[in-house]
Chain A
Amino acid sequence: MDSFKQNDGNRDELIIQQQRDIEKEISDSTPLVGEQLPLTCLWAEYNGDDVFTAKIQDLAKKYKFIRRTRPDGNCFFRAFAYSYMEYLISNNSAYKEFQKLAEDSKDKLVELGFPSFTLEDFHETFMEVIRRVSPDNPGGYNKVQSELHKIFNEQGYSDYVVVYLRLITSGKLQEEAEFYQNFIEGDFTIEEFRHQEVEPMFKESDHIHIIALCAALGAGVRVEYLDRGEGCIVKAHDFPEGTEPTIYLIYRPGHYDILYPN
């Protein structure tokens, strides 16, 4: 058995260890979801860069605040969930509708073939989070908002919400596989894509994730793209197109944060 390639195994472990160290550094220094900050705090990050300074100025005309999320590959899902629930806290009828949809989603996922035994865990936690941010809870908006913030910074809850949204997204891709196959580059089948790019935690999201999640939940997202692209204007994109957004996000290459319109 002398020809076993032991070194490869060790190398894998070293790489995994290094990844862990980097993740730990990020998690020690950045909360899962931060406090609301004035949008112009972004200037500090691009100190002196003309293109970005101009673009942030443009963005500041439309948005007052930004709320950062931890850059751990789950940022889209976490930002989406936080922002959407913040909207739901102040909109009782949308909240009720969403609660019903979330309640029914488990059976739908089981029908699509997800294992009910483990799905139940995530669903239960997801429903618990929704109950805890009900607009009917005593104390009014501010109290419920601070509960939301607390929940989203407790790793156990926060990550379970992300997992569940990933499963909903994956379910939507499967349900309408024929349609979503068109968005997938390369030789990936929808099945492979779901298992490799959607369901695993810490995998970054692309347009296809956003479109599928919005479609599954009936929600609208506006994403503002802040990058080095031409012009002094920040380009926005609505998902699905033509829908009035309830969630506002800023995308900088590789990362999503939450925006608050004026």
Chain B
Amino acid sequence: MKWRNLGAAPLPACCRNTCERRPDPPLCLLQEDPPTGVSGAPTDNNIMIWNAVIFGPHDTPFEDGTFKLTIEFTEEYPNKPPTVRFVSKVFHPNVYADGGICLDILQNRWSPTYDVSAILTSIQSLLSDPNPNSPANSTAAQLYKENRREYEKRVKACVEQSFID
């Protein structure tokens, strides 16, 4: 259960106490209480960098897409949020060209109680409910508001691209 403290500065709780209680890191997150449609695990050689996948939510143009992300923790986690980026191309009002995500809980509404499941679930709901008033991609925001069909077409192109990636 102590996986979360891996990044706590400067001396993680898992080391302050004993390491015995800590399960293997890749197993500890999503087996406990796996939310649907997301998954993630640390990379083999660096526990501070996680790979994750979000499945496009049903009944949205993102449906069937498998979008890859990286989650990069610093030693300040959980006091500060990790950096989360889409690796897959995502056409969305709140996703920057470089995959960066404009989401309040990853910025000014970060709570130290958020774990990887909470982060991924929030990003998944952002896919369903974009916030076009705070655009990271102005074209996507504009199309979302004014030309939903074209928006959906562009999103679906990303969905198809996500199969190939």
A residues with a Cβ closer than 8 A to B are 1, 3-6, 8-9, 12, 114-115, 117-122, 124-125, 154-157, 159-160, 163, 166-167, 195-196, 199-202
Contacts and interface: CB of A to CB of B under 8 A. Distances in A.
Q: Specify the main secondary structure of chain B where it touches its partner.
A: loop
A200 B113 contact: no
A167 B96 contact: no
B11 interface: yes
B138 interface: yes
A122 B4 CA distance: 11
Interface in B3-49: 4-5, 8-13, 16, 32-33
Contacts of A199: 109, 111-113
Given A1-B97, A5-B138, A9-B98, A117 B1 contact: yes
B1 to A, nearest CB: 7
Contacts of A5: 96-97, 135-138
Contacts, number: 94
A117 B9 contact: no
A49 B109 CA distance: 39
Contacts of B78: 118, 163
Contact-residue bracket for chain B: 35 or more
A100 B4 CA distance: 26
22 contacts: A1-B97, A5-B97, A5-B137, A5-B138, A117-B32, A117-B33, A118-B4, A118-B78, A118-B113, A118-B114, A121-B2, A121-B13, A125-B13, A154-B10, A155-B10, A156-B12, A163-B78, A196-B104, A196-B108, A200-B110, A201-B79, A201-B110
B160 interface: no
A118 B4 CA distance: 8
Interface string B72-112: 00000011100000000101000011101000110011111
